[in-house]
Structure 1
């Protein structure tokens, strides 16, 4: 990351982070009954919505509708939709045929654990902000009791004072991706069986790690987005988050289209949510057989649509072990990612996505050769 001179607002954030270098141990016994009640309510609400990808994705959007200044809630909603589609791909046509059941299960575990971890870190922050707004009182000193990074405590206090939506949103991108880095990317279970696996390399080679943002374009659904390579690179994931944020929010008219689509199409986990002409949540195909169906992002005449199940029909809810209690934040230099970025972004992804689907279809038909 190029080391430009820090903007004035970032110099302020740096100074606040340096003040918190010595982390003070937290102990709830010193809190008031009212403070304990606030924390218990936040934990209860978070657990209620952290059941599966569909409930999390809905919770993000519901929160954003009530707090449209918290941009990451909408970014999190749209990216979480993509996480759900990736989960159900494992039980639908094409991708599922490139994996055995054991591989499908470990890939789902990887996706589900990451989705669960981000929610149980991000949503308590949202609820504490909402409670602060309701009381017109800064309650962010309670964030350490929710195991939230000291980095985000500084950022929320900065936001409470200056209301800089961009800084808050990108800080949350940094926070959540850094949070995953220590719990998912460097977890030997996922590093060996997912990130280093042939199937993951194949998907990366075929450019199917797409983040898709659908919207209504007259009477047609159009897709914008980005493709992620090098999933195991923290820098690449943060920069992807910055680009995705810009796609969603840099143009008010375009943002309105994304938001209108989101509130008009409840998330089910099926890719039918955005392309009903290609995907169906009912399996129209013949069991055990797969013939080539796609041409130029359309289903050929007489061919069944691609099966893309809803989440509840694909996977059961998972009971997760508690998240590891370690703060990822170690050095203020990370705030350089908060520098304003006005670079032009090519968000036209539909052609690449269609091409990737056709490549995957060919790989599926050649699976007996590929995986011998």
Structure 2
């Protein structure tokens, strides 16, 4: 977006801000204009010190890998369904796990080198880890606030949470506005990732600017899938979702988050079936979790055998074996992470433009697109194989 267009957009926004968010706007404007008091000058009570330590311990315990994070989001949502991002985060984190295990699965191991597999996993894992260590302490602080009937969000700076979220949590505590809290969390987490992952020089060089990633983005291989039961019999699992376009755009990632929120929470009958499905299928990282007819967590084929197309309209071709989709614990070892940078991303109060509900919604139809994507990946494997065979023939 051009600089002048962005300024005009912000000016137009300031005229249409909902009355309910005026206090939020005023506080965020004030925070932009004045420097915050450094955390180190604040004096904590012994009880506050212990609470901070306990929350950090709990967060670290659940932040071991994608599976532990994904389970933690779901359990928290079941305890506090008013924190809607916890379910949204759970479902998106499932997709993160599937993307991680794809790198060791039937298809991508035939397309990517060992080095590329590890590099892409490191990129996905770092983002997944960063979001959890930022958002989960916020959830636990909310839990303690509820249990003690006392607003504890003044402690958020001790977890290096953006001052933007401190304003939003205080607003939620007084209003109970679930939508605003959920979308603010989308804004916060995507903005938090922007400098730490998307703008990180290492990941820009090794992942985001790589030919492989650009093809991945171009062919729309990055679907976000939400499985749910077709009906109350729980006999069939359906999918709905959306596709991430222009992954490196903060604007596009925030808008995707808003659309995914609408898919989950604007249709009560589907929300119930999503929750029931998630309850019955603990996350393992294997795509077998939602489609065991197509994926399996044990390799049923000879990995070195010449690959033949197996998929047609998301069904196996006659006589074909299922696609190998391993569980996360067998695909990747837990990683030790460097601590996150502590700088606050929040600089411009007008980012709250995204808090305005503009009716972002889609029908969620993704089945056909997802099926075509699987077939495109198979085709890419065959093309690569033919290129290699041709090169070998020319060498001879």
Smaller-chain TM-score range?
over 0.9
Report the equivalent of 2:64: 51
Scaled by the length of structure 2, the TM-score of the pair is 0.92
Report the CA distance shift for 1:29/1:10 in structure 2 as closer, same or farther (over 3 A): closer
Report the CA distance shift for 1:89/1:28 in structure 2 as closer, same or farther (over 3 A): farther
Pick one of 210, 215, 221 that aligns with 2:237: 221
Report the CA distance shift for 1:28/1:217 in structure 2 as closer, same or farther (over 3 A): farther
Query: Which of structures 1 and 2 has the bigger CA Rg?
Result: 2
**2:337 aligned with 1:320, yes or no?**
yes
Cα distance between partner residues in 2 of 1:235 and 1:65: 30
**2:147 aligned with 1:134, yes or no?**
yes
Q: Is the 8 A contact 2:296 2:322 kept in 1?
A: yes
Describe the SS at the equivalent of 1:145: helix
* Distance apart, 1:369 and its partner CA: 5.1
Q: Is the 8 A contact 2:263 2:361 kept in 1?
A: no
Q: Is the 8 A contact 2:258 2:360 kept in 1?
A: no
Q: Is the 8 A contact 2:241 2:365 kept in 1?
A: yes
Q: Which is further off, 93-102 or 173-182?
A: 93-102
* Distance apart, 1:18 and its partner CA: 2.5
* Distance apart, 1:20 and its partner CA: 2.7
Which blocks of at least 5 consecutive residues in structure 2 are unaligned? 1-5, 392-396
Map Cα deviations across residues 144-191 of structure 1 (whole Å, 9 max, x no partner). 011000000000000000000000000000000000001000011111
Cα distance between partner residues in 1 of 2:165 and 2:273: 30
Cα distance between partner residues in 2 of 1:309 and 1:125: 32
Scaled by the length of structure 1, the TM-score of the pair is 0.98
* Distance apart, 1:84 and its partner CA: 0.1
* Distance apart, 1:28 and its partner CA: 7.2
Pick one of 207, 218, 222 that aligns with 1:205: 218
Cα distance between partner residues in 2 of 1:117 and 1:210: 21
* Distance apart, 1:348 and its partner CA: 0.1
User: Residues 176-255 of structure 1: matches in 2 within 5 Å?
Assistant: 176-218=189-231, 219-255=235-271
Report the equivalent of 1:118: 131
Which blocks of at least 5 consecutive residues in structure 1 are unaligned? none
Q: Is the 8 A contact 2:259 2:361 kept in 1?
A: no
* Distance apart, 1:29 and its partner CA: 6.5
Q: Which is further off, 175-184 or 26-35?
A: 26-35
Q: Please give the root-mean-square deviation of Cα atoms over the aligned residues, in Å.
A: 1.3
Q: Which is further off, 267-276 or 297-306?
A: 297-306
